[in-house]
Amino acid sequence: MALFKSVNTPATIKFTLSSAPSGTTTIRIGTTLSFAGARPVAKVNSWQGATPAALKKIDSRHQGNIITIDVASGSSGDTYLQPNVIFDAVELFN
């Protein structure tokens, strides 16, 4: 999935759990590439992850849980030439 900062963000994943996770829970987003220093920023329900530092070199109603993934960048652009990130996997585990 390709996320472009002002075109199609945030991406939303809705899911249900049979019970709340116990202990520390980790979310990982595997990125393939990015443009203009873009990187994913995750939010799970009311928890907001920290915005990762820029990499030095890389160019209705729902009862359940929601992960939103947005794009952070210090740059801007037009439509499909704006900061973007492409990811292949989202993993939430404890």
Q: What is the pLDDT along the chain (94 residues), one digit of tens a residue?
A: 889 999 999 999 998 988 888 888 888 888 888 888 889 999 988 888 889 887 666 455 545 677 889 999 999 888 778 898 888 888 888 7
pLDDT for position 57 = 60
Distance CA 12, CA 5 (A): 14
Looking at residue 79, the DSSP 8-state letter turns out to be G
Determine if residue 23 is left, alpha or beta; phi over 0 gives left, psi from -120 to 50 gives alpha, anything else beta.
left
pLDDT for position 31 = 84
pLDDT for position 3 = 92
- Please check whether residue 37 is in contact with residue 74, taking contact to mean a CB–CB distance below 8 angstroms: yes
The residue type at 31: T
Distance CA 90, CA 31 (A): 9
> Domain map of the chain by residue range?
2-93
Q: Is the pTM of this model over 0.85?
A: no
Query: HSE of 92 in the Cβ direction (CA atoms, 13 Å)?
Result: 18
Q: Which fold has domain 2-93?
A: Jelly Rolls (2.60.120)
Distance CA 49, CA 63 (A): 22
